[in-house]
Structure 1
Amino acid sequence: MADCANVRNKKIAVVGAGLVGSLEACMLANRGYEVHLYEYRGDIRTMEHVPGRSINLAMSIRGRTGLGAVGVEEKIIREHGIPMRARMIHNLDGTTRAIPYNKDGKCIYSVGRRYVNEVLLTRAEEFPNVKIHFNHKLLNAELDQGAMTFLDTSANEEVKAEADLVIGCDGAYSNVRKQMMKRSWFNYSQVYIPHAYMELCIPPTPDGEFAMPPNYLHIWPRGKFMMIALPNQDKSWTVTLFMPHEMFQTLDTPDALLNFFKTHYPDAIALIGKEKLVADFFANKALPMISVKCSPYHVGSTSLLMGDAAHAMVPFYGQGMNCGMEDCVVLDELMNKYDDDLEKVLPAYSEHRNPDAEAIVDLAMYNYIEMRDLVNSRLFLLRKKWDDFLSRLLPGTWVPLYTMVTFSRERYHSCIAKKKWQDNIVARIVKVCSVAGVMMGFLFAKTEAAHTLANSFLTHINSLATKTLAVVDRS
């Protein structure tokens, strides 16, 4: 680590006290920096209701690594996490079937966003070198100088602040990123997907138990739309309905809504309850989903973007929080590598993290197609069995995509590259098997021409098989 006195003399401002910002504040404080954490909301620990995004999170190894680095992983997982070991698919006829996430029985954990955020805020306050400023909305910033202007909404007055480093962890609509967008050579793109989401709720049973088997992520896949449910600590379920925005607009009366559910989610009506379904649906509104990509993530040695501010993604891979928390781990690793020299750390962070962030943004969109449609495909299920078979046969070589993304810290862009390699191998094997089947017919033929053609094809099959095995061995 860098000279401790030099580190302690540096002030870092973290804008946004959500999951990523509060974790990053803890990690920087652990390194000895003076940290000021700014949040435009009040203290969520004192609120009855916290407005904002989904209340459920699917936590996996990337997020857990970040929590472990500041000593709160065990508390969150042990006291609050509910293990989900498989997808539970709900068919139209009311039957269900489980699709395990992993051949080894590994699981992801359903945790509450608010609970995790509160634990991290409390952990940040335990550091004497962290100061949290609630009700501070960033108005503008001179990122080269680390100068910021906030509106203190509790006093309705502007507040000036300075820092050696400004880190934007202020979400998909980041104000820190808006300041970067004014600069030359900053790349930015955003996409609103045509689908929206709405959260509903399955309450506990009258005797206070879960209404469905709890250790699953329940999915109702319906082709172009779907519904999912994650378990909560109070034995309720957070239900999220995903579908094209225009479909939401057609459900404008209680009868239209109930007929829609009777057609597509008949088993969910009894679970939610007719009256509750109607009341909750019309008390809420369908919310948009956005993907954000940008680069670079830094300005010199004085400013950095992390989390959704750098790479907002749709929620279908359950990696938004996990990726954001892994951002904190990656930055900490680079701090170690470059001895806290921000002039080296920040450019290295942008270069290292950007291809991975853009990869998971793309994978998140792909997984929506898988969850809403492909899980009902026989080819998808066959491929999953094939992946499980090969992962047992070649445990150090063949790792399914979901396992790489969710149960390892393999770099996201490397996960995609390995998946493409696997697809090529499978395509070769399918081609070999198809040709072999055709040749079996020729082998039973009695003409000399058929035998000659069969021998030629078999030589080609042998060559393909040899090359395939050679590729597998080299990997």
Structure 2
Amino acid sequence: MKSVIIVGGGLVGALQACFMAKRGFRVDVYEMRQDIRDMEVVRGRSINLALSTRGREALRRVGLEDIVISTGIPMYARMIHDLDGTRRPIPYGKADQFIMSVDRRHLNELLLTQAEKLPNVEMHFEHKIVACDFNAGRITFSKSDGSHVTAHADLVVGCDGAFSGVRQQMMKKTLFDYEQVFIPHGYMELCMEPAPGDKFAMEVNYLHIWARDEFMMIALPNQDKTYTCTLFMPFDIFKTLDTPEAVLAFFRDKFPDSLPLLGEKYVTETVSTSKALPLISVKCSPYHVKDRAVIMGDAAHAMVPFYGQGMNCGFEDCVVFDDILSKHNNDIAATLKEFTEVRSVDAKAMCDLAFYNYIEMRQSVNSRLFLLRKKLDNFLYWLFPNMWMPLYTSVSFSRTRYHQCIANKEWQDRLIRRALYMSVPAMAALGYCVATRTRLLDAPVSETIQQLVERLRPTWI
């Protein structure tokens, strides 16, 4: 039986353990933290996740989709909060399309428990990676008591996050392209308590957004009737909110309708005494070393959270890897090579899309042109469902490869620009006919338009 060491017992690591064990590999999972199932509070990561089609497919394959969906909250649209308190929904797609707000800790615990049910999986908590010898398949870990242990395996899978220790070891052993970007915006989380009567304080089945062009606040619903609110903003603005008075003035000016729901005292004390956390994006290649090691999830492609695809992309890594293993009949060397070739181009595309969606969420949703284009995309999708799929729909509600989603969007943009270009002379011809009392029926419409085009062409050039 071939053996696999998975470094990282988070979402992707625990899921990958399920996939590999189901294929008959002996799996050992090494996690730096203690078992989160024994912890009262898990710090350092957001409570909220947005689960969509790609992630659901991965969970379905390990038998967890139904239970995760049953404990999540569907969100069918963005709910935009304007400055005057007006709320307006922008649907994500068709009436039956939604993303799920799921609890990170609950999902991680489910995955760990599911992996442990398999007889060929063993968990090792409080083990931090120290060194790797990929040629020998040997990894050294330090334990919480200061001692060191060494483990051996045929394959090492690094699922240990944006600051991956496995990736750092890979960078020492191979020609490795690496790009790390911290954006000048940070984030801070707030909690909106339930309304009187233990009810949700706002409409439930929405991702709430306070879009303010340069920054924004979002809120996702939780099963306990709370909302996790996240403020995304330039660090320079966060620095100005260092007193309760400054925070109160800021929220009254920018998020007035949120104050009664969050509570003035809670907001002023929390924001003025908390530190905004950074947002990182990582691109790298290759994802593997020979036939000995591979990285997945944030270790391979950490992304800013604005498309809600970080977890979904990491989960899809497991699906893609599993499919390639089947294709090559468990040949690890062939699988790792193809996984890098196939997945790196898509993960880099998704990292770019995540940056793009920040602009859409904090700024574009306030634009009439954006909303008009959204309606046009949805109409064309309804009219030509097999030919025209909006960008968000293809990313969140299909398994179209990420780079192809971008290519489709670029094709759609070109087509619309050409259609608009062609409609200008058509509308001008109509105006010309009205102004000169020329009847369109006096000649074929195409001839009327063509004559006007020839007459106006010099002015366009």
TM range (shorter): over 0.9
Q: Is the 8 A contact 2:3 2:27 kept in 1?
A: yes
1:446 positional shift: 4.6
Percentage of identical aligned residues: 55
The residue that corresponds to 1:149 in the other structure is: 140
The residue that corresponds to 2:354 in the other structure is: 364
Aligned partner of 2:298 among 299, 308, 327:
308
Q: Say whether residues 1:40 and 2:29 are aligned partners.
A: no
Higher mean displacement: 269-278 or 233-242: 269-278
In 1, Cα distance between the equivalents of 2:365 and 2:8? Answer: 37
CA deviations over 1:101-136 (Å, ceiling 9, x no partner): 012331110001000000000111101100100000
Letter in 2 for 1:281: V
Aligned partner of 1:22 among 6, 14, 21:
14
In 2, Cα distance between the equivalents of 1:110 and 1:34? Answer: 33
Q: Say whether residues 1:231 and 2:253 are aligned partners.
A: no
CA deviations over 1:420-473 (Å, ceiling 9, x no partner): 00001110111112221222233345599xx99x977724999xxxxxxxxxxx
The residue that corresponds to 1:254 in the other structure is: 244
Q: Is the 8 A contact 1:432 1:461 kept in 2?
A: no
Q: Give the paired residue count.
A: 450
CA deviations over 1:367-402 (Å, ceiling 9, x no partner): 000000000100000001100111111110001000
In 2, Cα distance between the equivalents of 1:329 and 1:447? Answer: 65
SS in structure 2 at match of 1:200: strand
The residue that corresponds to 1:207 in the other structure is: 197
Aligned partner of 2:333 among 319, 334, 343:
343
SS in structure 2 at match of 1:181: helix
What is the correspondence of 1:127-276 to structure 2 with a 5 Å cutoff?
Answer: 127-153=118-144, 155-276=145-266
TM-score (norm 1): 0.92
The residue that corresponds to 1:471 in the other structure is: none
The residue that corresponds to 1:56 in the other structure is: 48
Q: Say whether residues 1:102 and 2:93 are aligned partners.
A: yes
SS in structure 2 at match of 1:355: helix
| CA RMSD across the alignment | 1.9
Letter in 1 for 2:157: I
In 1, Cα distance between the equivalents of 2:452 and 2:290? Answer: 56
CA deviations over 1:192-212 (Å, ceiling 9, x no partner): 011000000100112111000
SS in structure 2 at match of 1:256: helix
Q: Is the 8 A contact 2:241 2:271 kept in 1?
A: no
Structure 1: runs of 5 or more not aligned? 1-8, 463-475
In 1, Cα distance between the equivalents of 2:431 and 2:195? Answer: 60
In 2, Cα distance between the equivalents of 1:461 and 1:379? Answer: 28
CA deviations over 1:254-281 (Å, ceiling 9, x no partner): 0000000000000000000011112322
In 1, Cα distance between the equivalents of 2:220 and 2:265? Answer: 21
TM-score (norm 2): 0.95
Letter in 2 for 1:380: F
CA deviations over 1:230-286 (Å, ceiling 9, x no partner): 000100000000000110000010000000000000000000001111232245310
SS in structure 1 at match of 2:172: coil
The residue that corresponds to 2:370 in the other structure is: 380
The residue that corresponds to 1:473 in the other structure is: none
Aligned partner of 1:75 among 55, 61, 67:
67
1:310 positional shift: 0.2
The residue that corresponds to 2:308 in the other structure is: 318
1:185 positional shift: 1.9
In 1, Cα distance between the equivalents of 2:394 and 2:162? Answer: 26
Letter in 1 for 2:355: M
SS in structure 2 at match of 1:149: strand
Aligned partner of 1:86 among 77, 86, 98:
77
Letter in 2 for 1:21: G
Q: Is the 8 A contact 1:144 1:299 kept in 2?
A: no
Higher mean displacement: 16-25 or 283-292: 283-292
Q: Is the 8 A contact 1:59 1:108 kept in 2?
A: yes
Q: Is the 8 A contact 1:227 1:242 kept in 2?
A: yes
Q: Is the 8 A contact 1:314 1:365 kept in 2?
A: yes
Q: Is the 8 A contact 1:15 1:168 kept in 2?
A: yes
Q: Is the 8 A contact 2:132 2:166 kept in 1?
A: yes
The residue that corresponds to 1:405 in the other structure is: 395
SS in structure 1 at match of 2:311: helix
SS in structure 1 at match of 2:173: coil
In 1, Cα distance between the equivalents of 2:27 and 2:428? Answer: 69
User: 1:24/1:439 Cα in 2 relative to 1: closer, same or farther (>3 Å)?
Assistant: same
In 1, Cα distance between the equivalents of 2:57 and 2:233? Answer: 33
